[in-house]
Structure 1
Amino acid sequence: MSVKPAKSAPERIVLEGHYVRLEPFERRHAADLFAVSTLPGGVERYRWLFSDAPTSVADMEVRIEQTNAGSDRYVAIVDKASGRALGQQGWMRIRPEHGSIEIGGVYWGLPMARTQMATEALYLFARHAFDDLGYRRFEWKCNNRNEPSKAAATRFGFTHEGVFRQDMIIKGESRDTAWFSIVDGEWPALRTEYERWLSPDNFDDAGQQKTKLALR
């Protein structure tokens, strides 16, 4: 059976949700992203990323420019209520010829972590990949010792596929990489549950969920 490739790599466009707006990575996001990294616990959230926490706004500006010069395509995650960038995530392993793409480099600052903002940021990437660009496979990878990331992947509906042993050396340490994916045949049912859970009707005035996300 003939299989079609995806339409293209993601372009630098804005993806709009109820709670967040995903904007192409720009220097103007640097001050917000540096500020969120300096909140209590913010530095620790870089533990499993390829880079350490930024040391200044200027450092963050340089990182944004370097990232935009590479093959990955990052976005800033902007809280629509405050207008501030609270995190970042990127398109990685972009292979439209195979219909496969990864969400990676995820830094969800503490103000958005474990909230509807984080879930919607993931959902907007998945929806754009599957529905707009025609990808067949949406990947999530992490250090196999990163238990919170593995738990998040499962919560978001990804299937664990296995572990690549001694896959990388990151920050001087050997990394075994855990692989997860969602494929296009699974997406319609997952999309329906994401949209149900993300509906403003599912949250009270304090922003607390009325029902849980049930993807697995």
Structure 2
Amino acid sequence: MSFVNNYTPPAGPNLPILPESEMYGPDPYDVNFAFPLHLGSLESERVRLTPFIPAIHAGAYWEGIEPHLTEIFRYFPITMPATLAEFLSYIEKYYRSNPEFIMFAIIDKTRRDETRPELGGSVAGVIALLRASVAQLMAEIGYVVILPDFQRTHVASNAVGILLEYCLQLPTASPPGLGLRRVHWTVHPDNTASKRLAQRLGFKHEGVLRWTWVLPQSRSSEGNPPREGDSYAPRGGLDTVYMGHCWDDWENGGREMTQRAIDRQMV
């Protein structure tokens, strides 16, 4: 029996830019998420998480992040969108179209945005659930981006703590959660601040997965050097630190650790 392989690789590393009519998604915006959303469970005294709706949140987010792209994404192992159009296309392709992914806007309720009073605060960044599995009752908290004006405040600990609680609380709790058994956190080995934040919220170090990422061409000289003859040479690679917070951690002190982190005045 004969066979063929007609696979054609993508034309290039850049994300195709969607037509402007598709960048902002449908109206009303369909978050297309596999789990239920309980908005009352996604809020603390100072911070609220709400599904990231490009038409509402993208302008404020991009204004805050554009001057700091290199600094903010230095620990991200992928090519990050460099323009608002690229970012919107990225969200539409990799988040809204995938029911296991959802991105949230982080709203700092303690700071009023005079130009956008309808937000009930200021857009302080974004945070996401990745690979949220209904079958395995697990998810990853990731794509955590805190805008520079909100770093070293209460925002990061509140945003992560809110989402962690939402994942691990039982659906019968008040406010209700998703009842997941595991939430994990992956981090660049050199990102000390991210590891410290996760530890304060009860995540436990589980190990290092070696050579999990091939770095993009724009950062080919970073990371671990590839072996001689590597087909991706001279692009470096990265290891990934894995941390986890499971339901039994949560029930045995993790809930209290998370609440203490949320109640802190500074991260």
Structure 1: tracts of 5 or more residues without a match: 1-7, 203-207
1:76 paired to 2:76: no
1:167 paired to 2:212: yes
Calculate the aligned-residue CA RMSD, in Å.
2.4
More strand by share: 1
> Residue in 2 aligned with 1:177?
240
Conservation of the 8 A alpha-carbon contact between 1:46 and 1:52: no
Distance 2:90 2:109 in 1: 24
> Residue in 2 aligned with 1:36?
64
Distance 1:80 1:121 in 2: 12
**Aligned residue pairs, count:** 195
The 3 A distance-change label for structure 1 pair 167 and 185 is same
Give the deviation of 1:115 after TM superposition.
2.0
Partner SS state of residue 91, structure 1: strand
> Residue in 1 aligned with 2:12?
none
Give the deviation of 1:11 after TM superposition.
3.5
Distance 1:184 1:95 in 2: 15
Q: Which of 126, 129, 137 matches 1:91?
A: 129
The 3 A distance-change label for structure 1 pair 16 and 56 is same
Give the deviation of 1:9 after TM superposition.
4.0
CA deviation digits over 1:5-43, x for unaligned, max 9? Answer: xxx94345532221111111111211111111135x554
Distance 2:245 2:50 in 1: 24
Conservation of the 8 A alpha-carbon contact between 1:87 and 1:109: yes
Give the deviation of 1:135 after TM superposition.
0.7
> Residue in 1 aligned with 2:45?
18
Conservation of the 8 A alpha-carbon contact between 1:20 and 1:79: yes
> Residue in 2 aligned with 1:138?
183
Output the TM-score relative to the length of structure 2.
0.65
User: Which has the greater radius of gyration?
Assistant: 2
How many percent identity over aligned positions?
A: 28
1:156 paired to 2:201: yes
Partner SS state of residue 151, structure 2: coil
Partner SS state of residue 149, structure 2: coil
> Residue in 1 aligned with 2:262?
198
> Residue in 1 aligned with 2:92?
65
Distance 1:195 1:151 in 2: 16
